[in-house]
Amino acid sequence: MLIPAFGYKSHITIGRWFRLIRRFIVTNAARHDGAQLPGLLNRYAFNRRVWADSSYRSKANEAAITAAGRRSMVHFRKPKGRPMPGPHQRANRARSAVRLAVEHVVAEQKARIRLFIRTTGLARATVKIGLANLSSISVA
């Protein structure tokens, strides 16, 4: 049975220093990003910190990060109807500098590899995105 989806998402874990994709999960675009974090945690990674954007911040993910023996460096969310507190704003700015490495890998896939998924079904999309992940070794 095929479930219609309007696109796919590739959730990746990369090694920060060498920009190699170590683990990935492909979902349809309707799935929430934050629910994928436990499957991306790598207990054999050298770095003990987990860097992610604010869509991954939740009590369940923070508990999963702690249970894996890691330190959360997930971006803080802006409180609804209030300005972002100063310490959170400074922390997010510092975290963005590190997360930029991940964004470079994704941008490279889109630009150099011209990654555009046009398949029917999650299995085919997973294979196509997986092959792109294997071939996206950064030259920068």
Instruction: Using alpha carbons, select from 47, 39, 46 the residue that is nearest to residue 12.
Output: 39
Cα four-point dihedral sign 31, 33, 36, 38: negative
Q: Does residue 135 contact residue 108 with C-beta atoms inside 8 Å?
A: no
What 3-state DSSP class applies to 101? Answer: helix
Cα four-point dihedral sign 49, 45, 31, 111: positive
Name the least confident of 23-32, 65-74, 75-84. Answer: 23-32
Q: Global pTM?
A: 0.73
Whether residue 21 lies inside any domain: the answer is: yes
Band of pLDDT at residue 82, cut at 50, 70 and 90: very high
Q: Per the structure, how many domains does the chain have?
A: 1
Containing domain of residue 63, as a range? 8-135
CA atoms within 13 A on the CB side of 62: 9
pLDDT at 139 over 80: no
Whether residue 1 lies inside any domain: the answer is: no
Whether residue 67 lies inside any domain: the answer is: yes
Q: Could you tell me which residues come within 8 angstroms of residue 58 by beta carbon, excluding any fewer than 6 positions away?
A: 34
Whether residue 103 lies inside any domain: the answer is: yes
Whether residue 60 lies inside any domain: the answer is: yes
Instruction: Using alpha carbons, select from 110, 89, 118 the residue that is nearest to residue 7.
Output: 118
Whether residue 26 lies inside any domain: the answer is: yes
Whether residue 140 lies inside any domain: the answer is: no
Per-residue pLDDT, 91: 93
Per-residue pLDDT, 5: 53
